[in-house]
Amino acid sequence: MQLHRNDLEKYVQLYLFPCLIVFGILGNALNLTVLLNKRMRSRANTFLSLLAISDIAFLVFLTPHVLATFHFLYVNYYFRWFYFHTKIHWLALANWMSAVAIWVVIAVCADRLIGIRKPLYIRSHVASYKMMLILALIVVAPFLLTLFRHFEHYCPVNNLCYDTQVYSKCFPITHDVWQSHMFQNTFSYAYRKFIRMSILTNTVFIVMCPIILLATLNILLLCALRQRSSEMSLIQDDITTKPCVNNQKHHKTEQRVTLTVTLIVTLFTFTNGPSGVVSFFDLVSDTNAKPTWWYNAGVFANSLVVVGKASNFIIFCLFSKHFRKRLFGLAQKKVHEKMGKNFGKCSGGGVGDEKVCLLMG
């Protein structure tokens, strides 16, 4: 009673996903350490902080599904019982966090685009309550749009072999019959119609529209970035006063931030686009019996999504000099604080403590 469909899914979840989950959680935690620093606070960094939080939550919610691939767990009665009763909810929460991430990326992309076209916008102050409302809308709206995920499947759990084994199979609520016409769907027509409409709404506002909007914003951002680079190259030789020098430094900083955001948006589009295409065709086909190659395409698309969740830290480290400087600075500060505490203990100790301090040194 394995919990994976084929060997491709097994090996991806057994070897690739655990590494990505660990790396993604640690990397996004380091991102938060830097982005939430007082000296790094800005609108863009606030959005990027929410992106890191949603990515961490996504990877955490995906973990039970990955653990179900390990042999010693999927043969365990208690784990199977727990997994079968909560599987659909873990996946629904992961879909919620994925939807939040999509709209966060759209928000940060739009913020940078407006900032390039209206330079004073970057330096302007947005009231904290307005920012909180925007963040709340980004979190709550996807929650409502993905809430149906908790109820779109019927997953009866059965005990077999004199209650020594537990087994479950999920059936889509939208299908009239299940298991090759062996079982009739007993849910009401109104409920099935509600789930169908919820799936359609989710596909439009969480998959198709965000991808189209994100691709458009990314193209505009790339064009604006190119135009800004041309303008900076023209004024580079015309630096005669200190205000001009300071202004150029500010433009260079904004240029680096915009480049980092552009890379994040591009990577996000590349890693989430295939999953959106697969979801769209799943909605159009509306069939439970899919060929193996299409199922493998879904596994590949989902793998790209997980890769994207774990890659933002790499982008920050490779392309943001300020991020690297701040990260190393915070690390050095923590090390110095730790060494200072140890030195304080040693200097305040007696003769007996001196040996311990020597060992610590």
Q: How confident is the model at residue 333 (pLDDT cuts 50, 70, 90)?
A: confident
Please tell me the predicted confidence (pLDDT) of residue 359: 37
DSSP tag of 153: E
Please tell me the predicted confidence (pLDDT) of residue 100: 95
Name the 3-class secondary structure at 313.
helix
Which of 54, 49, 46, 44 lies closest to 259 in space, CA to CA?
44
Q: How confident is the model at residue 286 (pLDDT cuts 50, 70, 90)?
A: low
Average predicted confidence (pLDDT) for the chain? 80
Please tell me the predicted confidence (pLDDT) of residue 280: 75
Question: Which of residues 58 and 286 earns the better pLDDT score?
Answer: 58
Which of 171, 167, 168 lies closest to 152 in space, CA to CA?
171
Separation between Cα atoms, residue 95 and residue 150, nearest integer Å = 10
Q: Can you list the domains of the chain with their CATH numbers? A: 7-236+251-287+297-322 (1.20.1070.10)
Lowest mean pLDDT among 8-22, 64-78, 260-274: 260-274
Q: Is the pLDDT of residue 75 over 80?
A: yes
**Token pair 């999509």: residue:** 102
Signed CA dihedral, 89, 152, 187, 198: sign only: positive
pLDDT in tens, 207-226: 888 888 888 888 888 787 77
Does the pTM surpass 0.75? The reply is yes
Intra-chain end-to-end CA distance of the chain, in Å: 54
Do residues 32 and 276 make contact, with C-beta atoms less than 8 angstroms apart? Answer: no
Which of 360, 207, 323, 178 lies closest to 273 in space, CA to CA?
207
pLDDT in tens, 60-71: 999 999 998 888
pLDDT in tens, 23-70: 999 999 999 988 888 777 788 888 989 999 999 999 999 999 999 888
Please tell me the predicted confidence (pLDDT) of residue 127: 67
Please tell me the predicted confidence (pLDDT) of residue 59: 95
Please tell me the predicted confidence (pLDDT) of residue 20: 93
